[in-house]
Structure 1
Amino acid sequence: MSRPSPENRAVPPSGGDAEKLLEIVLRTVVELRPQAAEGLHVNLHSMLDRDLGIDSLARVELWSRIEHEFGVRLPENLFASADTPADVLRVLHSRPGAEAVRPLPSSEVPVATGQTPDTARTLIEVLEWHVHHQPQQPHVRLLGDSDQTQDISYGALHQGALAVAAGLQRSGLRAGQTVALMLPTGSDFLHGFFGILLAGGVPVPIYPPLRLSQIEDHLRRQAGILCNAEAKMLITVTQAKLLARLIQPQVPSLTRIASVAELSEGGECMTPVRQPDDIAFLQYTSGSTGQPKGVMVSHANLLANLRAMGRALKVGPQDVFVSWLPMYHDMGLIGAWLGSLYYGYSLVLMSPLAFLARPARWLWAIDRFRGTMSAAPNFAYELCLNKLADGDLEGLDLSSWRLAFNGAEPVSPETLQRFAERFVRYGLAPTALAPVYGLAEATLGVAFPPLDRGPLIDRVQRDAFQTHGNALPAEADSSATLRFVSSGRPLPGHQIRIVDGSGIELPERSEGHLQFRGPSTSAGYYRNPEETRRVLRDGWFDSLDFAYMAGGEVYLTGRAKDLIIRAGRNIYPYDVEAAVGNLPGLRKGCIAVFGSPEPATGTERLVVLAETSEKDAAARQQLQQEVNRIVFDLTGVAPDDIVLAPPHSVLKTSSGKLRRAASRELYERGEVGRPHLAVWRQLLRLVLQALRGHFGRGWQTCRAALYAAYLWLLFWLVTPLTWLAVAILPRQRWCRSFTRMASRLFLRLAGVPFSVTGLEHLPSSSVSVLAANHASYLDGVILCAALPPQFSFVAKRELAGQWIAGRFLRKLGARFVERFDLQRSAADTESLAEALQTGQPLVFFPEGTFTREPGLRTFHMGAFVLAARAGVPLLPVAICGTRRVLRDGQWFPRRGAIHVNVCPPLLAQGPDWMEAIKLRDATTAALLEHLDESERTRHAG
């Protein structure tokens, strides 16, 4: 969708002062940050600095425009005191002849662009926003078995939820108590979920049984979740109520089991006030383990994730999401339903059973309702490939499908390729396929690929990866390769890092533990502090997944946990092993359950390896049937393979623990039940394999640690001597020359490959401004080593007051600017202009600061406004490699090459604001052209 330029955005002729003011603010922000214009929302309570990124120079331009277009002169103190457009509006309203000043409640704040609840702080406020703005607008379209539809509007959802909330409060539910929700996909689930929220409770979605005949066993397996959550009530279907009461003695907190219909029999609801940090719902990551983990998802987590995903995917009311995903799963609950609720796009919702029974219904629903987005695990795409004949698809049109998310289980590159090849004839764009990564602990989404790119598959050398964990790119004709699918880049405002077993961040293309952090990250597990402490440290959450980064994108390689994903269902092996081990005829404690990749189905095979001494064929067949029954009853799926092996086939550690991974490898090699090698040969093979792996990885870790220690020792030797020499030397030029020499010596002794190109672009006689990207603490050292000694650095004023850093920088002729006091910041800008007029060239870091995330941050306008006003050339300077050597927040430097490129000079065509904007954009383009791929990712995204 094209976006009108700021110049063509007409100011409403009679829309009132508020609308006119917001239009001026919006126009200025779009000029500053054109990449953020899509989905940009400005209201009277938007913070000028924090929300809109208007720095002191941009504020000068904004004030000039407001004064010109309103024909007023604003008070000088307003320049520094105004935090929001509402502050300016109050002054405008106080001028003679204007309407009286009055406070504007949030419900009356006009929104300049878009129709989304950007000011909402909780999920309840999101629903209330839609009820206020579009109560009759259809929200969810339920697709029944006969393809009949039932539309639920925002108003109807709200009314139905209020009725449920009233029933819960009559039953004694208090704010903050948990209510389990065991319902199939349908209106009852939607009303029940929001009814719990409106009553002040915390929903706990748990999955319903596939068949009502299994309800008793199913509920018994859910008792662990209900106990951990301390569920006060359980909302379920009417038919399950009597059987559900069987587990009440196991759940002391459970006081009532009711249906939605019973709770909705009348009454009024008093909705308690909920805060952003309150728990919105509990998302349990297991349904069959003895120690279930309930992820605490707060309202703030949820809204942050929805907003970040919406920004990355550029969603809007024009989208249509078609979903069969179960509502107890985070991808169905959040990605499909709550995402559609927030952004106001239509959701077509069908039962998971409808898809499993007839996969074609999913694709035909996308055709019928012109779906633009849909999501499914890998097995669903594989199911469509294997189960649907060409006759089932005749006339199918998938041209509207712009985002086909593939997540929730390992993504197969073969599935992606085959699905694209087959369905391109039905209008599906291959670029629509979008492998994604997320987990409940991050609310939902963690990484998404760039739009319209399609899947990115990385081929790596098998031996280097399996032995050392190095994902080295493989040659095109190499056969010993592994293929991994990119899950994209971290969501805006979120971060991913890969660490080793000691928590030290690894360089690109090194496999390790994937950790993440950001506003969507959960505070941990409900009533499980031990597990929370194990995975959450210093704000970083351990995903328990293995991965590597390449080009700023994340590639999942495996799971550190024993979780088995079978047809989209999470299966934990220890419960199955315990149950199967109770069968007479099998050796208790000698059962291994694991998943084995199955390329033909795009999912994992569920394998049960059990030891038995039974020889009789009939008895062995009976054992296999019993194992099949137990596994199906416990997990809902039948095992793909049951291997009855002789004693001592299941591998264990010396302490008696099962070695599932090793047993899986034995199974996949077809060696289960074969005569064992001699003990000494087994020991020798294991020792050699262990030594090879441990030596390779251990030597890498040791080398990295030794290098880091050497680098810091070198730093603390060179730095004090440099500081002392600069403090003693009487002339500024001598100080600069000595610092340049010391910086080059430090890099040489550190063994850092360092190179500089483009120095010929520096003007020999005229004054200039240099604008460099900022990625690391090393950038200042690098520029001292790279540039001739006539440049003055522009630094933040806080450093001027420091005795060590301030004295050093002043002796080098650094210029200081204020970052927080707006009036002083503007004054400092004038001081810099005077320095240019006296012939002093300046070096700026326009980003102002740096973070550990790759990519360029939004530029401040100081360097570009000064260069434009003074009419001097501006030279972009691209610094490559410093972030990899020493990343922010990681005091563990790594060896890497650093290169500095001085780009050709740019010259503004005039002194005004728009020419400064053009100069900034040209600088951005020049830097992006010379930065490596990993440093371009954020700006490109």
Structure 2
Amino acid sequence: MSGNTQRQFGDTPEQTAELVLQLVKDLVDELRQGQQPDVPLQLDCRFDQDLGFDSLARAELILRTEKQFSVALPDQTLASIETPRDLVRELLQATQLGSTPVSEQLIEQIQLDIVESAPEHVHSLQQVLDWHVNAHPDRPHLYVYQNADQVTEISYRTVREKALQIANGLIEQDIAPGECVAIMLPTSSDYFYCFFGILYARAIPVPIYPPARPSQIEDHLKRHANILQNAEARLLITVPEAKPLSQLLRLQVPSIKAVVAVSEIMQAPMPPDVGVASTSDIAFLQYTSGSTGIPKGVALTHANLLANIRAMGKVVKASSSDVFVSWLPVYHDMGLIGTWFGSLYYASPLVIMSPLLFLSKPQRWLWAIHRHGGTVSPAPNFAYELCINKIDESELEGLDLSCWRLAWNGAEPVSPSTIERFTERFSKYGFRPETMSPVYGLAESTVGLTFPTEIRRPRIERVKREPMTRFGRAEAASSDDPDAMQVIGLGQPLPGHQIRIMGDLGQELPEREEGELEFKGPSATTGYYHDPEKTKALYHGDWLNTGDRAFTIGGELFLTGRSKDIIIRAGRNIYPHELEEAVSNVPGIRKGCVAAFASHDSRSGTERLIVLAESRETDTTKHQQLKHQINNLALDLLGSPPDDVVIGLPHTVPKTSSGKIRRAACKDLYEQDSLDIRQRAVWWQALRLMTAGIAPQFRRYWRTGLDIGYAAYMWLMMGILAPSVWSLVAIVPNRDWCWAITRAGARALIKLTGTKLTIKGEEHLPDNDTPCILVANHASYLDGLVMVAATHLKCRFVAKSELKNNLFARIFLSKLDTEFVERFDVEKGILDAKRIADSANSSQPLFFFPEGTLYRMAGLHEFHMGAFIAAADAGLPVLPVTLCGTRSKLRNRSLFPRRGDISVTISPLKHPQGNDWNAALQLRDEARADILRYCGEPDLAHTPPVR
């Protein structure tokens, strides 16, 4: 803000208006980076069409106004002001701020009895609510902020009674099971009643976001017509102000039977006779395209929702002792599923306020956590940024955030800088570094996909910029590398879910290599509602494409970008191609020569929407008119204008050879301030852009060629060495010679393929004549080969009996004294275990993979007890061995070997403390703890194994 003195009210309303206009001008200059708005700044300028203010910009203006004039504006100011004149009117009516600090507000800690169980065996959301009503009907479920000071407590019984009234009202409106009912309501008690009322009627809820301001209702309904058409919605439940527009909506959406207010469909709360919902029924439709033209309705079943809620709850250890606090909109998956459904399932009370209350005064979110003892409260990255930049210290006096145990950060790109600055600023108020928990999810996976599996500080990795940008390799950077990139760890897949990183040839990539992120699991949607073509494009076999680019380290996900080109602005998704198509139709704009892209705004922590459009017009006045038209068009489509509109001469927008818009190149040129084509001739810029496009393509093909070449070379080496080693082992009579030949072959393969093998802890290896039992994690078919190469021990491997059915495997393994065990026949398995236990004290060490088999997903699974019972019975020590890098080099169910290094860590011997079951358990736990410590992968001991 300009000036060092605090502005006060002017002597006259006119002087006050001048001061407000100066505030607006200051903000316009900052947002438009010095560019003048399309119209002269005056009291009747519209904030959205004329000045390009979105909700965050309005919130900032209100905040500055309150500070400069020492007033408290009403909460609804954010929704009601359309022009500076409206702000002046609100300002003149406002009262002077009182002297009572926020810290003296009444503390209302929520303390409820612990609920020991959860609805683990129910199959639908309705049954979840019924379970709670039967178990504790009067237990508070919701604490809904009606305004900044008034909170309504709602029990489980009340939710169901009101929902049944809505359900019967819907049935009276002839809504049949399986039909869609849209909800366009603000965060309020009615929203929760309506959602479950639709479910109890066995219809499908379709949440759509309400208009930010009453004056926008007509435009808002027009923008949502495509969603309502795709869903074939039969009814729209909305605010009374929208009812007069019902006829207009029916003309656009023929399937709509009526537009109703909540009060009109309340009936007696009798249980509706519509049958019982099944797990495969669609629970609701989550539209991912926000307000843009072509909607995609993600169909989520009851099975999807309950699987996701249970998986997230298991990872974060959710319980009825938690208190959820949220301002997130309940029409969005993070607010609807992550907070409301999650808190509902685990009997955790949910304190919820309108997004408007948070945006107008971000400190309200933090004070709600303080007052109610909130333990879990998620938000997108921009919310944490708002708290850093928009809250004065005077508004935080007495704040205590020590109760906050989980602050999920998701729904948009997570900024390492935001995390560090939020933690630093609020640590003195009790916020702990490990509370911040970056996560990843998407609507196609219900809401959550990867979460940290333990309470920890956020994982921020530094990688070298050049290898990352050129070849997609995440090489670790030193702490003093000034050009290093910081990337955020987003955790491991939820239990029962899998992720993989795919290359351009459809092959799975190893760790630390960037590619397309795909996933599968019980939370995965069955597809897009009424859109088989988009559903087909979503799937890659039985895996789903996320549209994001990423890599993994130790099984943990790190995002690098979005291949979909989605723009995430203040938590909302904007799909650029629809806006580009609309802008192309503006007279004076070259058709097909428009790019909409995101540019990160470090101040707000979110993304700026930039529109670059080509025109043959050179007149400055005409350019201003085009910008004004584009602003209005974006406002109609998106509900908010772009942050910047750039009009360029022909050939400004870079394209691929096939004519596709290169949005990433547009972003680079914009951020480098290189879009002013008047500095150089058009042919020169076209040549430069074409040249710039060749290098990335060349690097991409070069990387792919290297991958194919390496895989072919490794198979060639294996093809040469394997027959030779097998033949020699099969014919030589001496077992020591067999081991020497095998070890020489293994080491030759490792050396010839350029694999760096690092061995740590060799001093812990016993002599060959010392009986012991070796155990190692099992990550790849290369594990046995690596063990042979890494140690001098002539071990007896313990292998599955199925290998005896293969002649070549049986001959080779038998010459190495391999012990075969039965995995599926219980009686034979017991006899095999007894036989191995009896022979364990021979001089030749035994080698086990106690996980039993290998998995493609990173992680250490539960250990079987066989090796440890044998060790305890025979009184033998156990030697834990940790293998790293083999899974990435050759993953299970893959025939595509990759470049990569391997390390082997040998831990000290673990001696049994007895010969009973407890001694075996202790050996297992000690050995597994060592392997888990060094493998760098998540602990999946209590997670169902996923192959």
Do these two structures clear the TM 0.5 threshold for a shared fold by scoring above it? yes
Match for residue 633 of structure 1?
636
- Whether 2:146 is the aligned partner of 1:144: answer yes
Deviations 1:141-187 (A, max 9, x none): 10111421112211221222222222333433333333222222122
Letter matched to residue 339 of structure 2: A
- Asked whether the equivalents of residues 496 and 515 of structure 1 are also in contact (C-alpha less than 8 Å), the reply is yes
Deviation at 1:602, TM superposition (A): 1.0
- Separation in 2, partners of 1:644, 1:684: 20
Whether the aligned pair in 1 keeps the contact of 2:584 and 2:590 (CA below 8 Å) is yes
Give how far 1:795 is off.
1.9
Contact 2:862 2:940 in 1 (8 A): no
Once residues 546 and 379 of structure 1 are traced to their aligned partners in structure 2, the CA distance between those partners, rounded to angstroms, is: 21
Mapped pair 1:120 → 2:122: yes
The answer to whether residue 583 in structure 2 is matched with residue 599 in structure 1 is: no
Kindly provide the amino acid, as one letter, of the partner of residue 388 in structure 1: I
How do residues 578-593 of structure 1 correspond to structure 2 at under 5 angstroms?
A: 578-593=581-596
Shift of residue 320, structure 1, vs aligned partner: 1.0
Match of 2:71 in 1: none
C-alpha distance in 2, partners of 1:494/1:448?
11
- The equivalent residue for 2:165 is 163
Q: Contact between 1:628 and 1:638, CA under 8 Å: does it hold in 2?
A: yes
Q: Is the 8 A contact 1:288 1:572 kept in 2?
A: no
Q: Percent identity?
A: 50
- Show the counterpart of 1:52: none
Cα distance change of structure 1 residues 651 and 684 upon mapping to structure 2, 3 Å threshold: closer
C-alpha deviation, 1:719, in angstroms: 3.5
Deviations 1:509-541 (CA, angstroms, capped at 9, x unpaired): 322222222222222222222222223213322
CA change 1:752–1:209 in 2 (3 A) is same
Q: Match for 2:364: what amino acid?
A: R
Equivalent residue letter for 1:233: L
Read off the aligned partner of 2:603 and give its amino acid letter.
A
The answer to whether residue 822 in structure 2 is matched with residue 855 in structure 1 is no
CA–CA separation in structure 2 for the residues paired with 1:225 and 1:936: 40
What's 2:563 paired with? 560
1:916 is matched with which residue: 902, 914, 920? 920
Which aligned pairs between 1:29-108 and structure 2 lie closer than 5 A? none
> Aligned residue for 2:825?
821
Note the residue ranges of structure 2 that are not aligned, 5 or more in a row.
1-113
SS at match of 1:454: coil
Q: 1:237 aligns with which of 239, 251, 268?
A: 239
8 Å Cα contact 1:288-1:575 kept in structure 2:
no
Deviations 1:213-267 (A, max 9, x none): 3223222222222222232333323332341342324434333433333332135
**Which residue does 1:403 correspond to in 2?**
406
What's the offset of the Cα at 1:772? 1.7
Q: CA deviation at 1:932?
A: 4.2
Paired with 1:760 and 1:245, the residues of 2 have a C-alpha distance of 81
**Is the CA contact (8 Å cut-off) linking 1:221 and 1:287 kept in structure 2?**
no
Structure 1 CA distance, aligned partners of 2:183 and 2:420?
38
- Aligned residue in 2 for 1:436: 439
**1:396/1:707 CA distance change after superposition, 3 Å:** same
What residue number does 1:336 align with?
339
Q: Provide the C-alpha distance between the structure 2 equivalents of 1:840 and 1:472, rounded to a whole number of angstroms.
A: 41
C-alpha distance in 1 between matches for 2:905 and 2:584? 66
Q: Which runs of 5+ in 1 are unaligned?
A: 1-111
| Deviation by residue 1:585-637 (Cα, 9 ceiling, x = unmatched) | 54454443222111111111122333445566655545444433332233222
Are the counterparts in 2 of residues 552 and 937 from structure 1 also a CA contact under 8 Å? Answer: no
Indicate yes or no: 2:901 matched with 1:897: yes
Q: Give yes or no for contact 2:292–2:637 (8 Å, CA) kept in 1.
A: no
Q: Which residue of 2 aligns with 1:43?
A: none
Distance 1:815 1:353 in 2: 68
Q: Is 1:504 aligned to 2:507, yes or no?
A: yes
SS of the residue corresponding to residue 473 of structure 1 reads coil
Q: Which moved more, 1:630-639 or 1:305-314?
A: 630-639
User: Which one of 452, 456, 472 corresponds to residue 453 of structure 1?
Assistant: 456
Structure 1 residue 788 displacement after superposition: 5.0
Where 2:678 maps in the other structure, the secondary structure is: coil
Cα 1:326–1:582 shift into 2, 3 Å: same
Q: How many residues align?
A: 828
How has the CA–CA distance of structure 1 residues 716 and 581 changed in structure 2, closer, same or farther, with 3 Å as cutoff?
closer
Preserved contact between residue 585 and residue 614 of structure 1 (Cα < 8 Å): yes
Q: Distance in 1 between matches of 2:801 and 2:422?
A: 57
- In structure 2, the residue matched to 1:705 is 708
Does the 8 Å contact 1:854/1:938 carry over to 2? Answer: no
Find the counterpart in structure 2 of residue 63 from structure 1.
Answer: none
1:466-505 paired onto structure 2 within 5 Å: 466-505=469-508
SS in 2 for 1:547: strand
C-alpha distance in structure 1 between counterparts of 2:721 and 2:617, whole Å: 74
Aligned AA (2:281): D
Give CA-to-partner distance per residue, 1:790-810, whole Å, 9 cap, x none. 432222233334444345434
Provide the residue aligned with 1:322 in structure 2: 325
TM-score by length of 1: 0.82
CA apart distance, 1:776: 0.6
User: 2: CA distance between counterparts of 1:271 and 1:798?
Assistant: 52
Instruction: Name the residue aligned to 1:293.
Output: 296
Q: How far apart, in 2, do the equivalents of 1:908 and 1:789 lie?
A: 21
Do the aligned partners of residues 790 and 764 (structure 1) sit closer, same or farther apart at CA in structure 2, a change above 3 Å counting? closer
* Structure 1 Cα separation of the partners of residues 800 and 359 of structure 2: 61
CA distance in 1, matches of 2:377, 2:899: 43
1:795 is aligned to 799
Distance in 2 (CA, whole Å) between partners of 1:754 and 1:387 is 52
When residues 763 and 701 of structure 1 are mapped into structure 2, their CA distance, relative to the original with a 3 A threshold, is: same
SS in 2 for 1:905: coil
| Deviation sequence 1:65-105 (CA, Å, 0-9, x none) | xxxxxxxxxxxxxxxxxxxxxxxxxxxxxxxxxxxxxxxxx
Task: Trace 1:150-549 onto structure 2 (pairs within 5 A).
Answer: 150-266=152-268, 267-449=270-452, 451-549=454-552
1:536-935 equivalences in 2 (<5 Å): 536-612=539-615, 620-653=623-656, 656-675=659-678, 677-678=680-681, 681-682=684-685, 684-728=687-731, 735-754=738-757, 756=759, 758=762, 761-787=765-791, 790-836=794-840, 841-929=845-933, 931-933=934-936, 935=937
Cα distance in 2 for residues equivalent to 1:783 and 1:921: 22
1:245 to 1:287, Cα distance in 2 relative to 1, 3 A: farther
Counterpart residue identity of residue 919, structure 1? L
Q: Is the 8 A contact 1:405 1:435 kept in 2?
A: yes
- Give me the whole-angstrom Cα distance separating, in 1, the residues matched to 2:390 and 2:913: 64
1:241–1:890 distance in 2 versus 1, CA, 3 Å: farther
Cα drift, residue 578 of structure 1: 3.9
Provide the C-alpha distance between the structure 2 equivalents of 1:347 and 1:365, rounded to a whole number of angstroms: 11
Aligned equivalent of 2:72: none
**Secondary structure of 1:893's aligned partner:** coil
Distance 1:766 1:611 in 2: 78
Structure 1 residues 755, 116: CA separation in 2 closer, same or farther (over 3 Å shift)? same
**CA offset at residue 782 of structure 1?**
2.5
Q: How far off is 1:350 after superposition?
A: 0.7
Report SS of the residue matched to 1:849. coil
Distance, in Å, in 1 between the alignment partners of 2:653 and 2:576 is 14
Q: How many angstroms apart in 2 are the aligned matches of 1:454 and 1:837?
A: 45
Q: Please, which moves more after superposition, 676-685 or 171-180?
A: 676-685
Task: Provide closer, same or farther for how the CA distance between residues 720 and 227 of structure 1 changes in structure 2, counting only shifts above 3 A.
Answer: farther
The answer on whether the counterparts of 2:778 and 2:851 sit within 8 Å (CA) in structure 1 is yes
User: 2:99 is matched with which residue?
Assistant: none
Structure 1 residues 799 and 616: CA distance shift in structure 2, 3 A: closer
8 Å contact kept, 1:295–1:524:
yes
Residue 120 of structure 1 aligns with an amino acid whose one-letter code is V
Change (3 A) 1:585 1:346: same
Q: Is the 8 A contact 1:138 1:152 kept in 2?
A: yes
Instruction: Label 1:483 to 1:755 Cα distance change in 2 as closer, same or farther (>3 A).
Output: closer
Residue 723 of structure 1 and its aligned partner are, at CA, apart by: 4.4
Cα displacement (A) at 1:308: 1.9
